[in-house]
Structure 1
């Protein structure tokens, strides 16, 4: 099959980018794969891409280069196709509307995969007849605003398949959206095994990773580690992720200083790949209030690091078996987080048992397994709908019109009120 991914910016840093490239790197072993990036702001991707994968961009944002297009008049006009209620709407324009439309109209792939709601909307509205239409959701249903949910209810019936990263979220979509005939499947983010073998010698370090944003609750983790430091001053906390210079990053650094943790807790910025840090870590932690999946949890486990995580919706509970390969603690519970970190820090045997269990359990996220399931489902749907896809397109349009009649009135009323 020829599989084409449409992504916001494959040259950036983030979970959606990483998981898309991981999946593409595996699919290219058996299929013809391309990644089409709406934007390009640097010369090369941050994450390693198999050289057999074609990467191209639609809009060049590399300032100082001959191809720079950020100052074109169309780039200053607001988008008409990309949903206004999507969080990335400010970054889209009439220029992206046209470039994406041109791309989709000329597409010759068997499968087109959108990687965020706004791009899924473009696929629903602009993809020509033929390719299987797959919409990926890397955020959860409840993570979307109500206006965006209404828009997606109107458009998503035109998809062939909608994928989520957790079974729990797939079930929510089945219950909350009217998507007759759309296949809804959960495909967890693929995470490759470490390229190096764990040495067995680990630092006395708790490692956390992810963007420095409020929902990650690094403030809670830092306060919990202050309790750990009181009993085990020989351990340190290392936090990796972009955002040190942001307002929230500055607040976190100030908290570290207020608690006198400068020698015990560090904000170390973005590191890619992070594998070498996981292989050195003695323990991993996640204090989030919300996780669409929990990719860093799986990355740590694949490197033989047990994770102490808050039991937040929706991902950690599907990844960690509490007491077997890690620990789940109540959200926002600083004392419980510190207690379970100390439980593993103070017991080398328990930590080692959980580390071995984590490495074994996380093998289910091997990219070959997930890519195989994904490709098999796409092939099955392609055969079922036929090579031309014309009947499917007609059905999608009719289906979208009926459901759109129901939700379109609500959208119109809401927009008028706003």
Structure 2
């Protein structure tokens, strides 16, 4: 494929999160052949917490730091008018972000522009130049959005070229529930780079977990299951990495279960792979995952994963019994039993870790970047036919509305 200019639009590249990690991974892989820019809607610190490939240009739009010129702009304190009101991040957006997004996109020279969250995808649909390919990534899922937000997105997503989900299951939901004529809806997984030549050796008596400390991640269930594990295997420990609103409740639960010194909240880290490589098992007790980034990160380290079979990602990542274990959602006994099975079988654990490392190669950034390049080529080749599909759909909608008015 010839070299093209590619721009990613992201909420805040200076923070920590799965969308930031996977965006930077993909940007770096695409930078091998293309000119790549990451546009951060917001900025709250001097430098990004994650390492940014030096070939990737970072452009912040609104500076939230106290000493910035934007801090005194009156538009910063006025609610956004374009960013959708039903989006969870709406309170962090303003008329200033609306204005900066409009100004940047209307003069953007990129040939491909990729949005990375629903509200930003609305900016993309509203303001990006028609000559650019407009691609919306979905890092959550269709069904986790409110009915109001889905309605707001459906109106705007019709002007996009593609909607990319992280799982085929979620792509199928979008195709069934959001009618988008002329818009390609497909799944491309998140990318996770190889952490290096030193995989986990399976000897550490450590179970690790990572993610935002929020109720949906069910770290409480994991701690309760580890209580059962610890009773049988007192020499094993649990380390949970992350930060969030549930921290105090989880710490109390650790103390109530008598796990002080055995289970610990380790805080957030920017290089979680280094911690996963120090563990022999990685666990996830989530009730919902749009993808399952930590599962892939663990597998790339050669660390087997025990995860709940929650919607939508784990079953598309883990081959049950081969490179990891899947257990029913919310089942403390099943989670504890799967962990104990792996603890008791060190050779089997090592073999599963090797299988996990091999299976996770399909998430290498180079493979994912190639899938995006194929998408760019397909969208460019079908631009005219897809535009015709959109026009036909609009004519049918207008004719239908006119007919309903006549009948009334």
- Determine if the TM-score, normalized by the shorter chain, exceeds 0.5: yes
Where does 1:44-123 land on structure 2 (aligned, <5 Å)? 44-64=47-67, 67-123=68-124
Distance in 2 (alpha carbons) for counterparts of 1:204 and 1:379: 48
Deviating more after overlay: 324-333 vs 374-383: 374-383
Give, in angstroms, the shift of residue 302 of structure 1. Answer: 0.5
Where does 1:119-130 land on structure 2 (aligned, <5 Å)? 119-130=120-131
Change (3 A) 1:240 1:223: same
Give, in angstroms, the shift of residue 77 of structure 1. Answer: 1.0
Where does 1:19-418 land on structure 2 (aligned, <5 Å)? 19-64=22-67, 67-198=68-199, 200=201, 202-243=203-244, 246=245, 248-385=246-383
- Structure 1 vs Structure 2 CA RMSD: 2.0
Change (3 A) 1:36 1:83: same
Distance in 1 (alpha carbons) for counterparts of 2:212 and 2:38: 24
Q: Give the secondary structure class of the aligned counterpart of 1:33.
A: strand
- Partner residue in 2 for 1:3: 6
Distance in 2 (alpha carbons) for counterparts of 1:128 and 1:398: 22
Q: Give the secondary structure class of the aligned counterpart of 1:70.
A: helix
* Unaligned residue ranges in structure 2 (runs of 5+): 402-408
| Partner deviation per Cα, 1:260-318 (whole Å, 9 max, x = no partner) | 10111000000111121111111010000000000000000000000000000000000
Distance in 1 (alpha carbons) for counterparts of 2:66 and 2:398: 41
Distance in 2 (alpha carbons) for counterparts of 1:151 and 1:239: 37
Change (3 A) 1:143 1:385: same
Normalization by structure 1: what TM-score? Answer: 0.91
Change (3 A) 1:226 1:109: same
Distance in 2 (alpha carbons) for counterparts of 1:132 and 1:217: 39
Pairs aligned (count): 398
Preserved contact between residue 200 and residue 301 of structure 2 (Cα < 8 Å): no
Q: Give the secondary structure class of the aligned counterpart of 2:41.
A: strand
Preserved contact between residue 155 and residue 404 of structure 1 (Cα < 8 Å): no
Preserved contact between residue 158 and residue 399 of structure 1 (Cα < 8 Å): no
- Partner residue in 2 for 1:414: none
- Partner residue in 2 for 1:415: none
Change (3 A) 1:32 1:233: same
- Partner residue in 1 for 2:406: none
Preserved contact between residue 182 and residue 390 of structure 2 (Cα < 8 Å): no
Distance in 1 (alpha carbons) for counterparts of 2:26 and 2:396: 34
Normalization by structure 2: what TM-score? Answer: 0.94
Q: Give the secondary structure class of the aligned counterpart of 1:257.
A: helix
Change (3 A) 1:200 1:304: same
Give, in angstroms, the shift of residue 397 of structure 1. Answer: 7.8
Preserved contact between residue 157 and residue 399 of structure 1 (Cα < 8 Å): no
Distance in 2 (alpha carbons) for counterparts of 1:392 and 1:313: 31
Change (3 A) 1:402 1:251: farther
Give, in angstroms, the shift of residue 369 of structure 1. Answer: 0.4
* Unaligned residue ranges in structure 1 (runs of 5+): 408-418
